[in-house]
Amino acid sequence: MINQANSASFMHIPPALVDAVRTFAGPSIDAAIVLGSGLGAFAQTVAVIDSLSTSDIPEYPASTIVGHEGRLILGTAHGQRLLLFQGRVHGYEGYDIGLTALPAALAAALNARMLLVTNAAGGLDPSFVAGDLMLITDLLVLPAARRMGSDFQGRGSADTPLPRPLFDPELLDRARSAAADAGIRLREGTYGFCSGPTYETRAEIAFFRHAGVHAAGMSTAAEIITAARAALPTVAISCITNVARTVRQKVTHEEVTSVAAQASDDLARFVHAVLRRM
């Protein structure tokens, strides 16, 4: 794992931002957890030590999306010291990778032993149903997405090969065992990144399916890639909030956050089971 100074410079994080988060969270944490659209209620299941609005952190990007509260929560569960990110920012809000990947870079700066990221995603596998949880085992980022709010090469990283595999096989097995412990049916598959904010067209859905993508969304990929470059073990979970069909459909953000909220109990049981296995 890289140290605080290197992780901050790696992602060009303003020093004042890093210092403020370290003052709030302390020099180290056991795990950082990013809570995606409609999934912020997990924070109610941990023992809260303190909380901080991101608007009170110097140069921290402001989220403009409903369901992303913009709050850091310091808490504990199962003997682990946790930093929760209630919400994230996205490339389609006008932010580059240095900010969309901020939770992962901060987790590395705080010497976290694990990063757990969650998101709400559209299911492309016809066997999926709304409310399923999917363990992300690989990524697909289309070249066009890199020019639409998310430069996944990352400034200063052109000469740094992306580690493979992206996910530690042992940690993936631990996540599978945790799901079994919690009595949760855990799907698995590849996450396809879309730049957003529009939902996928039928042509994009068909392409992604042909390419082997099981769920698609507008976040998370930058965090996973940044964590991999920082040698930070990562578990990534998609909450399937809607399932793409071959006929024309309308998807709303309200639908996405509503289904995610309904699945929050399963997600909480899963995350706690993962933490118990750390």
Query: What is the DSSP track for the chain?
Result: ---HHHHHHHTT--HHHHHHHHHHH-S--SEEEEE-TT-GGGGGGSEEEEEEEGGGSTTPPPP-STT---EEEEEEETTEEEEEEE----GGGT--HHHHTHHHHHHHHTT-SEEEEEEEEEE-STT--TT-EEEEEEEEE-GGGGGTT--TT-TT-TTSPPPSSSS-HHHHHHHHHHHHHHT--EEEEEEEE---SSPPPHHHHHHHHHTT--EEESSSHHHHHHHHHTT--EEEEEEEEEE--SS-----HHHHHHHHHHTHHHHHHHHHHHHHT-
- Active-site residue list: 37, 68, 90, 92-93, 120, 218-219, 242, 253
What's the rounded Cα separation, in Å, for the pair 148 and 96?
9
CB 168 within 8 A of CB 114: no
For 142, the token pair is 């289309």
* Backbone φ/ψ region at 103: left (φ over 0), alpha (ψ -120 to 50), beta: alpha
CB within 8 Å of 22: residues ≥ 6 apart: 4, 109, 110
